[in-house]
Amino acid sequence: MAINTQVTADQNAPPITQILAKFISSHPSKAWSDSVDHEAHRTFMNWLACAVGAANHESVLASLGAVQEFSPAPQASILGRHEKVDMANAALINGISSHTFDFDDTHLKTVIHPAGPVASALVALAEHIGSSGRELIDALVIGIDVACRIGNAMYPNHYDRGWHITGSTGTVGAAAACARLLGLSEAQTAMAIGIAASQPVGFREQFGTMTKPFHPGGAAKAGLTSALLAKHGFTASPRALEAPRGMIQSISTKYDWTEITEELGQRFEISLNTYKPFACGIVIHPSIDACSQLRAQGVTAENLERLELKVHHLVLELTGKKTPKDGLEGKFSVYHGCACGIVYGQASEDQYQDAVVQSPEMVALRAKVQATVDNSINEASVDVTAYLKDGRKIHLFVEHAIGSLKNPMTDDQLNKKFTNLTAPVIGLKETASLLAACWDLKNLPNLQGLLAHSKPL
Amino acid sequence: MAINTQVTADQNAPPITQILAKFISSHPSKAWSDSVDHEAHRTFMNWLACAVGAANHESVLASLGAVQEFSPAPQASILGRHEKVDMANAALINGISSHTFDFDDTHLKTVIHPAGPVASALVALAEHIGSSGRELIDALVIGIDVACRIGNAMYPNHYDRGWHITGSTGTVGAAAACARLLGLSEAQTAMAIGIAASQPVGFREQFGTMTKPFHPGGAAKAGLTSALLAKHGFTASPRALEAPRGMIQSISTKYDWTEITEELGQRFEISLNTYKPFACGIVIHPSIDACSQLRAQGVTAENLERLELKVHHLVLELTGKKTPKDGLEGKFSVYHGCACGIVYGQASEDQYQDAVVQSPEMVALRAKVQATVDNSINEASVDVTAYLKDGRKIHLFVEHAIGSLKNPMTDDQLNKKFTNLTAPVIGLKETASLLAACWDLKNLPNLQGLLAHSKPL
């Protein structure tokens, strides 16, 4: 019965919940730069491709099987599939599928994958209520801003403690986005945030299992449901985020409120969003990038004698598997990543199939790669020297790998990634139409046409 | 990108998830004492009455409105109402309604209200899949055991930090119970626990809002969904509960694994379950109990001149409102509690209606009550002296208030509480049938008959 007070509790936190509610409900449509709007389209299309690409993965089949036990009403589409389910469960499954390949977007400052929770909730709700593309983009920018700002306030303590920050901040981001799309009042929006604030999802122990992609899916579903509860008059604490026993102080001992309030409505966290060029952990990306550049300069599996890498220490700590046995282990092998760069010029999901990882050509090529730690090398960089059989030596230094903030993927590169993901599921013709619809999103009167192109053949 | 390790992390936690999975999936039916089985019936009927009693509360109407936007399939009943919704959302709403009056059961050691998450998930699932009463009782005992043992491991640190322990442990308890009811294998059960372990629900800042009862409801829904996901092959970490970045170590710095493993399957936490006799905070219960005893000895509002209470200091800290203005404030007034005891001999939801709290008789009676802190008085006790107008003086010392572990409510008292809650919603005739079905639960072939009696007139 004794009520102890946390020693570190901040009793005087600013009214974060109300500040965010006002921002979400009243920030004007497209009151930001064209580059923010463009980033929203990049965020959306990259997310969509990840979801379509994973539409037949066993994690999607298992979650769909569970959801179908609820006999859900056919309200909203599952991307890359014919089934429709109720909008909350469509948000769940699209959140799962879009994060299944670990190939979605990354807010590098917090390692949040913001589109998973936010876009998954929005597309399901928008389809059912008939929102326009413009309304969806507005809600996407604002929902991602809320999730990432809350992440900024808590990172890194919250993440170090064990939380998968994508799911814990994503519920509130999804609720914010759905509140915006539903046109909730400021007071209702504060309640939506508050209800969502009691439902952070996900721990890092789940990495490597289907429950990792469940986190953005669960967050999307919980956020959408929270917004609908608020719409119907359900109440929560107006200080649910910031109070001493509210969400943020209960799940993080770091809480920098200015990260949430400063320049709110003036700068947008979506501008810091990045997209993975390769379907594996980010530490390997500089090496794959360098090897793709070597390939462009004529290096092949046949003419290569030896490849020497100088890498940041985390590369070998996290991805030092010299002889990976299957696709999943391949994702934790910088050696396999280099072989992919030289042979394929890329490292998509295709290059992490068991058959590719186990092929004699790749096994032989990985054996030619030597990697050593060099403390002068940054995490985003790599130093590579290729020694060819004809005696030539090619040296490359990649300072900022492709896909980093300093060297973002171009729209053309994103289009190619999109196609690599979606074409195997829906075919090239529908892929072209879907891609065109994504870039035209802000002009679409509703999502019907776009979603019609997301179905398999 | 840097991966820090928590200083306090326990890398060598025992395999709690697997230990619980084995217990849940293989403990034989009714392999416990008759008193455990009886407690399960008391737990169930007390929970059911709370849900039926709150069936028309605004929190139920708001959550039902939100759920109906999903056009849910009519799979499972909402207690005290005619609507049916899908089983996950029925679990949500019954979890909300059963905790709305704060009148449900309490595992005093952890202040967990275990039936809210566990029974709400089970009844929805059992109705849909046609489980027997025996299967339901088995799953209830086991699910409550899992939730409360996890609570024991983390309490009080986890609760002090800000978590509403009912919702945070309840998701896993509900998943365990549903896994049992579904007959999942040990391996599937471990996955169900693991998926649920990523979804703790609820912070204490929400107390006083509808999101407080949302916590057991959300936990019920999440737990049921987790069990269905596991049934369909969805995977999670087999160490999701105990790993350094799993649920327990991420949300509590206290984790006593022996609380989970010791005498598992031999003693059952449901034996420590208690039921509130009065619809207010437990600190007032000794005072109401004492005043009800004074009433039985002839004390009335008219013949009383003055009442002197000696109480534990928390009574005045938490419930010291001398002049409550409405029903909600009345719940935080030991003075109103005493007046209820003297006038009504009880303090049910009826005694916390605005009209009762504001009535001149109650206002006048509250003014006659004086309370002082006495450091020799225990939380479960009160010392009361009534001075009557005729000069008589009646002294009472209540050591263990009614409803405490040492002085539990009798079955007859629970029956009366049940009737007070349900009769206003479903009428006396159906109440009698529903109550009879609750006591006969272990013999029922399915829940159809029982649930038919839970509908309003």
Q: Is the dihedral of CA A343, A348, A354, A357 positive or negative?
A: positive
Measured at the alpha carbon of residue B50, what is the angle toward residues B45 and B52, in degrees to the nearest 5? 90
Q: Which amino acid is located at B64 in the chain? A: L
Please identify among residues 17-76 of chain A the ones whose CB lies closer than 8 Å to any CB of chain B.
Answer: 58-59, 61-63, 65-66, 69-73, 75
Residue of chain B whose Cα is closest to the Cα of A161? B250
pLDDT in tens, B274-304: 999 998 888 899 999 999 999 999 999 999 9
Q: Which helix (H) or strand (E) element contains residue B77?
A: strand B76-77
Least confident of A53-57, B8-12, B115-119, B196-200: B8-12
Q: Which helix (H) or strand (E) element contains residue B384?
A: strand B382-388
| B445 pLDDT tier (thresholds 50, 70, 90) | very high
CB contact under 8 A, A70 and B73: yes
**Class of the B16-275 domain?**
mainly alpha
Q: Are B366 and B339 in contact (CB under 8 A)?
A: yes
pLDDT at A282: 84
Closest CA to A181 of A221, A220, A143: A143
Closest CA to B368 of B283, B294, B276: B294
* Rounded Cα–Cα distance for residues A448 and A450 (Å): 6
pLDDT at A260: 97
**Backbone dihedral angles phi then psi of residue B368, each to the nearest 5 degrees:** -85, -5
Which whole-number Å values give the CA distances from B118 to B123, B124, B136, B166, B215, in the listed order? 9, 10, 10, 10, 12
Q: Are B304 and B342 in contact (CB under 8 A)?
A: yes
Q: Chain B residues with CB inside 8 Å of A59's CB?
A: 234-235
What strands, in cross-sheet order, belong to the sheet with B304-311?
B369-373, B304-311, B382-388, B393-398
CB contact under 8 A, A211 and B2: no
Q: Are A341 and A307 in contact (CB under 8 A)?
A: no
DSSP string, A280-312: S-GGGHHHHHHHHHHHHTT--TTTEEEEEEEE-
pLDDT in tens, B27-48: 999 999 999 999 999 999 999 9
Assigned CATH for B282-398: 3.30.1330.120
Residue of chain A whose Cα is closest to the Cα of B57? A234
Is A199 part of the contact surface with chain B (CB cutoff 8 Å)? yes
* Rounded Cα–Cα distance for residues B320 and B318 (Å): 6
Report the greatest alpha carbon distance in chain B.
Answer: 79
Interface test with A, best of B128, B163, B199, B251 (most A CBs within 10 A): B199
Residue of chain B whose Cα is closest to the Cα of A212? B236
Distance to chain B for A318, nearest Cα, Å: 10
Beta bridge partners of A9: none
Q: Chain A residues with CB inside 8 Å of B314's CB?
A: 1-3
Closest CA to B398 of B278, B269, B273, B272: B278
Q: 């139409």: which residue's tokens?
A: A433
The predicted complex's ipTM stands at 0.91
pLDDT in tens, B79-130: 999 999 999 999 999 999 999 998 999 998 999 999 999 999 999 999 999 9
CB contact under 8 A, B240 and A194: no
Of B2, B65, B379, the CB nearest to A1: B379
Q: What is the DSSP-derived secondary structure letter of residue B275?
A: E
CB contact under 8 A, B236 and A206: yes
Residue of chain A whose Cα is closest to the Cα of B318? A3
| B143 pLDDT tier (thresholds 50, 70, 90) | very high
Q: Is the dihedral of CA B155, B160, B165, B167 positive or negative?
A: negative
For chain B, how many residues are written? 457
CB contact under 8 A, B211 and A65: no
Q: 């442990």: which residue's tokens?
A: B169
* Rounded Cα–Cα distance for residues A93 and A84 (Å): 11
CB contact under 8 A, A205 and B246: yes
Of A75, A234, A250, the CB nearest to B59: A234
pLDDT at A309: 97
pLDDT at B241: 97
Q: Chain B residues with CB inside 8 Å of A239's CB?
A: 205
Q: Are A170 and A214 in contact (CB under 8 A)?
A: no
Residue ranges of the domains in chain B? 16-275, 282-398
Identify the burial level of A390 via C-beta atoms within 10 angstroms of its C-beta, where 0-12 means exposed, 13-18 middle and 19 or more buried. exposed
What are the residue ranges in chain A where pLDDT is below 70?
1-8
pLDDT at B434: 97
Average pLDDT, chain B: 94
Report residue A107 as tokens. Answer: 């807010």
Report residue A143 as tokens. Answer: 């929902």
pLDDT at B2 over 70: no
CB contact under 8 A, A215 and B208: no
